[in-house]
Amino acid sequence: MNGFDQQLHGYRQGHQLLSSTIRLPKPDQDLIDRLSDVAGPLSPGERFEPYLTLYPLPSGSYYVVARTWQDFEAPRAGCVRTRSVLVPMADWQEMQGVAAVVAVATEGGANRPAERRAVAAVSNPLPPVDPLQGTELIEAMFLEERAPIVVFDAEKPEPLALRLTTALWPGFRRTFSMSTFARSPRTIGRRSFDLVFASKEARSRFGDWEGRRIDGRKRGAARHPWSELIVPRVLSSPEPSLKNFDALGEMSSDGVGSESALRVSLLWEDLRRKLPSSPTAALGMLDIANTRKVRQIDLIRELEPALAKSAALAATSMQAEDAWRYLSALIQKLEGLLPSMSVARSIRTTAVDLAAHHPVETVEVLSALKVEPQRGVLVSAAAEGLARTLDLEVAELLSRLHGEDLLDLLFASAKLAEEAIGRFPVFSSALTMALRTADDEVRAEARRQLLGLLVDDHHVDPARLLIHDLDFDGLIKEVTHIHAVNGLSSPGMRSVIIERVRALQAEVALRDAVIGMGASAGGDALVESMLRQTPADMNWLITSPMLKQGRRIELIRSLLATANSQQLRGMLADENTLTGTIALLNAEDGSDAELLSRIAYNVTMLRHHYIALVIALLPNLKGRIGAELVSKALELALPQEPNEVSPAVLDQLLSAVGSKIDGGRTMRVGVRRGVSPAAASRNLVAFGRASAATRGSLLVGIEEMAAAMIGRHQLDISLEAAETAGKLLWESGSVAPKGFVRASAILLPFALGNRCEAASPLIAAAFPPVYRELAEGSAFDLLSYMFVFLDWDKRKSARRRLADAFVHSEWRISDIAIAAARAGDPARILRRIARERGGEEVLQGLNADLSHLPAEVRKPIQVALRELGLT
């Protein structure tokens, strides 16, 4: 610490600031200027000992510790000199040795100029003060209603004042104001000093004093029980402090300097002392901890061992009814805080013992225990305690309870419910009455907790009320339970079950469930039918956890084998049931394959499921039905995207269908508009890979391919697909000559109108037959719309059209050369191209790349190029 600033005031043409080490805001400086003067006018010749004045500045930045001396050297009487030490407020609040600051103010004296001074590292301990001198003052400050205090004619006010100030906690000390000598009331603004000491001669000046007056010479005993706690801490302790009482943190967090913070702490300490012998002290401490601004959870945790003992103490020291009320209050005050195991165990053990030893009183107070949060602990504990002493007398006592109270007890303790319902038939009538008046929610809880106990003939009446509201699943659960307990041996319970199952119209389903329960005479009485070809039964076969996998599959096979087509469709209409059935059957097994083929033939399913099923069945598909299944799968697969149907799957289907394929339909479905370019390209390439038998049937439908391609309105297939389409078109000439010509006539104008590279392999296949038809003059009507015939030689127009389109396209010259050779007129066709700009250079490139042409056209092209002088 670098030291505290000071100011020195005295007479200089009036009382004023003589020297200072700090410049303060005007409100702060005005207050120091005023309070550094004598505290009230002096009588002629009056003398006083140097006194202390302690107060905060208005800004809150500093706290002032001031020493005032009488100035006998001043030119006029009644003058004083005051040295004020300015302590930063943060330091002042937490300072342990207040006397050390007073020493700084005192040692500076009345004349030395103001200087920054640090406090001594070690200060002398404060002398003790006679308790009789300070008890009334301490009680007035902390244990009574807050008011300004004046102490008249105190013997030694300064030690008392210093001890009192030192003992204060930070919030109180920050606002505390005090003077050990005053001739009249002192104020800061409109607020009186908290404490002033005055001589008895000054009493008349305090005539309008609204605060507390204390006679400093009067001795009297303490008037408050807490005085004996705090008076020694303030007046006798080597280090005066009240913060030791701050178990709750109230004084540490006190921001306004309220004496109530100390009172709460004192009350806490008082209750702590009484805790071992008074259970109600625990409730008081919980009230204090719970009502703080922030709930004192840590303190409650510290109290838990004592709380555990207080619960047991209450049970032994109070009447039974009072003990129940005590436990109820204790739990309520712990609400929201999960108590430790020891506390919870102590409360529950106490409550259980209380109920076991005092069943009558426990039943009488039961209604008071049925509120939250006590209900969860005390009702269950009471129920367990009653179960310990349950006999016919206690059972009759319980049977006279209100229905709601009776059910609450039974719900709270499984042991009590089991004992009362199982051992005492007379109890069933009380349970029946309680259930009749219960609402739906309570009855639902009774079904959950009590229905399992109702298994014999004398349980029929209450069981009928609970089973009456069961749905089918609940009924199955109850039947399973009764079967496990006594094999459904009770005729009365069977009659109740039959009543309910008839109301639900679920007799068959109930019998299905009983199949899995094992053999019993009672169970056999309920089983009247077996599985049927229904969706519900099929779903049960697929999903029932009771069936082992082998048995499940056997039943599925049996059910499917005896089903007609309509039943098959109904049984497998649900997608989950269908996929589950397919997954359980083995497509590689002959008998399963037959069943799966029937499913595929009769049952509607998702496209990808159907394709996958047919692929799995391919090795076992035979005859007309097999061909239909494959054809349908192929038709479903062709429009799918490549990521949905791979080329390998397509190859399998094409190979399986073989010559039975409808080539035209397949071509149309695989290439038509709406099929994506990627899928159409994949399909054409797959057609090209197909076996000879499959390709033969595809080639018969070549016209459908041509029509489908132009129906797309754009040539958006891949180059590979276009090359395959060209090959298929050319190959069709040997299988379906007329179809080949018609397909070429359809496709050629479409190809000539497309300038992309993919068009050239189509032209290589489509141009030759059209050109030959023009030569024979037999196709005029078919082809007249393609060309404008300006010459008597229609082929000349065709050559001109081909050459003109070529020079404006991305076509490959190799495909045009192939078309020329296949057309039988390579020289004239290539000569027409040579006349076009850049034509000779293109043909020279062709001459250099003849080795890449098919062998059958290589020689005619070479001869034509030689004739044109390009070799």
Q: Which residue has the higher pLDDT, 179 or 300?
A: 179
Q: Are 282 and 330 in contact (CB under 8 A)?
A: yes
Domain contains 780: yes
Judge whether 209 lies within some domain. yes
Pair 71, 110: CB distance under 8 Å = yes
Q: In this model, does residue 508 exceed pLDDT 80?
A: no
Identity at 14, one-letter amino acid code: G
What value, to the nearest 5°, has the Cα angle with vertex 522 and ends 520 and 524?
65
pLDDT of residue 324: 74
In-domain check, residue 255: no
Based on the fold, state whether residues 147 and 33 are members of the same structural domain.
yes
Place 719 in a pLDDT band, splitting at 50, 70 and 90: very high
**Among 491, 447, 454, 452, residue whose Cα is nearest residue 469:** 447
What is the pLDDT at residue 62?
96
Q: Are residues 708 and 742 in the same domain?
A: yes
**For residues 559-584, average pLDDT:** 91
Are 863 and 746 in the same domain? no
Q: Do residues 851 and 772 both lie within one domain?
A: no
Q: Please check whether residue 813 is in contact with residue 846, taking contact to mean a CB–CB distance below 8 angstroms.
A: yes
Identify the pLDDT of residue 868. 86
Whether residue 158 sits in one domain with residue 83: yes
- pLDDT tier for residue 789 given thresholds of 50, 70 and 90: very low
Give the mean pLDDT of 567-595: 90
Highest mean pLDDT range out of 38-47, 57-66, 383-392? 57-66
Query: What is the model's pLDDT at position 298?
Result: 61
My answer on whether 130 and 87 are in the same domain is yes
- Whether residue 92 is predicted with pLDDT greater than 70 in this model: the reply is yes
- Examine the domain organization and report whether 25 and 161 are in the same domain: yes
Pairing of strands 212-215, 149-152: parallel
Residue 792 has pLDDT above 70, yes or no: no
Least confident of 177-191, 247-261, 393-407, 746-760: 247-261
Count CB atoms within 10 A of the CB of residue 557: 16
* Token output for 207: 């005539």
Give me the chain's average pLDDT, please: 84
Asked if residue 766 has pLDDT above 80, the reply is yes
Residue 267 has pLDDT above 80, yes or no: no
State both tokens at 367. Answer: 């209604």
Q: Report the candidate in 363, 354, 451, 375 with the shortest Cα–Cα distance to residue 399.
A: 363
Comparing 307 with 560, which gets the higher pLDDT? Answer: 560
What's the confidence (pLDDT) of residue 469? 87
Residue 661 lies inside a defined structural domain of this protein = yes
Mean pLDDT of the region 209-214: 89
Residue 391 forms part of a structural domain: no
Ordered DSSP codes for 394-439: HHHHHHTS-HHHHHHHHHH-HHHHHHHHHH-TTHHHHHHHHHHH--
What's the whole-number mean pLDDT along residues 321-339?
Answer: 71
Are 834 and 728 members of one domain?
Answer: no
Q: Considering the chain, what percentage of its residues have pLDDT values greater than 90?
A: 34
Last residue of a domain, one of 220, 255, 282: 220
Average of per-residue pLDDT across 161-176:
87
pLDDT tens track for 62-73: 999 999 999 988
pLDDT of 34 higher than 80: yes
- Asked whether residue 392 carries a pLDDT value surpassing 50, the answer given is yes
Are residues 132 and 185 both part of a single domain? yes
Higher pLDDT, 606 or 290: 606
pLDDT of residue 530: 43
Whole-angstrom Cα distance, residue 285 to residue 271? 7
Do both 77 and 215 map to the same domain? yes
**Residue whose tokens read 């003052």:** 137
Question: The dihedral of CA 384, 389, 392, 393: what is its sign?
Answer: negative
Measured CA to CA in angstroms, residue 603 lies from 599, 616, 618, 784 at distances of 5, 17, 18, 51
pLDDT in tens, 342-353: 677 777 788 788
Measured in degrees and rounded to the nearest 5, phi and psi for residue 424 equal -125, 95
For the segment 742-749, the average pLDDT, to the nearest whole number, is: 93
What is the pLDDT averaged over residues 419-446? 88
pLDDT value for 179? 94
511, part of any domain = no
Same domain? For 702 and 668 the reply is: yes
Of the pLDDT bands very low, low, confident and very high (cuts 50, 70, 90), residue 798 is confident
pLDDT in tens, 525-539: 554 344 678 898 888
Predicted local confidence at residue 527, as pLDDT: 44
Most confident of 19-23, 251-255, 515-519: 19-23
Q: Which of 304, 361, 313 is nearest to 333 (CA)?
A: 304
Domain boundary residue, one of 179, 196, 220:
220
Cα(563)–Cα(97) distance, rounded to whole angstroms?
Answer: 102
Q: Note whether 40 and 202 are within 8 A (CB).
A: yes
Please report which confidence band the pLDDT of residue 777 belongs to, taking 50, 70 and 90 as the band edges. Answer: low
The SS3 assignment for 303 reads helix
Whether residue 161 sits in one domain with residue 70: yes
Q: Does pLDDT of 782 surpass 60? A: no
Q: Is residue 532 part of a domain?
A: no
Full domain range(s) for residue 869: 812-871
Average pLDDT over residues 842-864: 86
Which segments of 491-563 does DSSP mark as H helices, in order?
491-504, 507-515, 521-526, 535-543, 549-561
- Choice between 333 and 9, residue whose per-residue pLDDT is larger: 9
What is the model's pLDDT at position 97? 82
Distance CA 628, CA 616 (A): 15
The pLDDT, as a whole number, for residue 254 is: 61
Does residue 290 fall inside a structural domain? no
Q: What is the pLDDT of residue 788?
A: 43
DSSP letter (8 states) at residue 250: T
For residues 512 and 725, the model is more confident at: 725
- Residue pair 46/110 in contact (Cβ under 8 Å)? The answer is no
**pLDDT tier at 82 (50, 70, 90 boundaries)?**
very high
Last residue within a domain, chosen from 191, 220, 249? 220
pLDDT at 257: 57
The number of domains in the chain is 3
